[in-house]
């Protein structure tokens, strides 16, 4: 019988990951992106293609590729309606047309989504896979570092105004290799200017950024990686494993990290 324990791990054998998500594409994203880049943080920015050119408070589309380079751009619908009150064909159009506009700028498939105004329903969730959406971020605070059971009801650990430093301290202090841990922070960048608390994010970035024991990733990178890890095909005795996905996946075998390159088989 196989005596070595085999675990799913994040890249390079890490068990902790950190991701952030910010909505609406407001001008304050420039300062927020600068903070993230300085500290090596990765984030997703959820944008409304129908409001960026009419609202002077938002970053114009012509600057998106430069401002958000290296981060994920995700959908937030075209016009930001409360979609739980809208007919499903209207919801589908809001998402598909936003995807089309964002993809024409980014040049990659946009598969992430944040529910505008935090509004969703089971009918909308059931619609999302057919619209090419892989995950949907809801609002609220879980105060948890657990991997989500349902990526279409993905609740963050906390809004940055909700126990951010306390949650960060708890996350950073974790010393446990038996589980995977994910800290997820969300919000709107304009809130830092409104509330006069930019130092909160700067303090968090100083604490949580640039650490060797954390995988920094965008929302879609988290979802894609975990999807790929679940597609690994193991021999019955776990002596080797085949990775049918395009991206490389890491496992821990007997406490040692092992990378399984995309499309390859690795001996354990």
CATH number of the domain encompassing residue 57: 3.20.20.370
Q: What is the mean pLDDT of the segment spanning 128-154? A: 97
Please determine, for residue 1, whether its predicted confidence score (pLDDT) is greater than 60: no
Residue 53: the pLDDT is 81
- For residue 266, the cross-strand partners are 241
Neighbouring residues of 141: CB distance < 8 A, sequence distance ≥ 6: 155, 156, 157, 158, 159, 162, 163
Please determine, for residue 235, whether its predicted confidence score (pLDDT) is greater than 90: yes
Res. 3 pLDDT band, cuts 50 70 90: low
Considering the domain boundaries, does residue 37 fall inside one?
Answer: yes
Q: What is the mean pLDDT of the segment spanning 136-144? A: 97
Considering the domain boundaries, does residue 89 fall inside one?
Answer: yes
What domain count does the chain have?
1
Res. 2 pLDDT band, cuts 50 70 90: low
Considering the domain boundaries, does residue 262 fall inside one?
Answer: no
Res. 16 pLDDT band, cuts 50 70 90: very high
- For residue 58, the cross-strand partners are 26
Per-residue b or e along 62-96, where b marks 16 or more CB atoms closer than 10 Å to that residue's CB: eebeebbeebbbbbbbbebbebeebeeeebbebbb
What is the extent of the structural domain holding 93? Answer: 17-220
Residue 54: the pLDDT is 87
Residue 128: the pLDDT is 98
Read off the pTM. 0.96
Considering the domain boundaries, does residue 244 fall inside one?
Answer: no
**For the chain, what is the mean pLDDT?**
96
């Amino acid at each position: 019988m196989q005596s070595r324990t085999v675990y799913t791990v994040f890249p390079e054998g890490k068990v902790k990951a950190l991701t952030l998500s910010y909505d609406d594409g407001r001008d304050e994203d420039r300062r927020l992106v600068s903070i993230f880049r300085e500290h090596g943080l990765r984030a997703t920015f959820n944008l409304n293609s129908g409001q960026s050119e009419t609202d002077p408070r938002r970053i114009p589309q012509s600057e998106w590729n430069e401002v958000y380079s290296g981060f994920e751009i995700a959908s937030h619908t075209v016009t930001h309606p409360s979609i739980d009150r809208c007919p499903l064909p209207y919801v589908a159009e809001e998402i598909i047309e936003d995807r089309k506009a964002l993809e024409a700028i980014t040049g990659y498939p946009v598969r992430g989504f944040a529910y505008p105004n935090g509004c969703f329903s089971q009918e909308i969730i059931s619609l999302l896979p057919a619209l090419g959406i892989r995950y949907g971020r809801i609002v609220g605070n879980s105060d948890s570092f657990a991997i989500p059971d349902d990526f279409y009801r993905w609740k963050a650990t906390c809004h940055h105004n909700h126990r951010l430093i306390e949650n960060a301290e708890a996350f950073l202090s974790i010393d446990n290799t038996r589980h995977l841990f994910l800290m997820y922070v969300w919000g709107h960048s304009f809130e830092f200017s409104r509330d006069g608390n930019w130092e909160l994010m700067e303090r968090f970035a100083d604490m949580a950024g640039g650490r060797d024991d954390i995988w920094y990733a965008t929302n879609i990178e988290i979802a894609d990686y975990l999807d790929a890890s679940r597609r690994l095909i193991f021999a019955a005795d776990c002596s080797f494993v085949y990775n049918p996905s395009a991206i490389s996946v890491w496992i821990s075998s007997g406490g040692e990290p092992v990378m399984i390159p995309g499309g390859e088989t690795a001996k354990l």
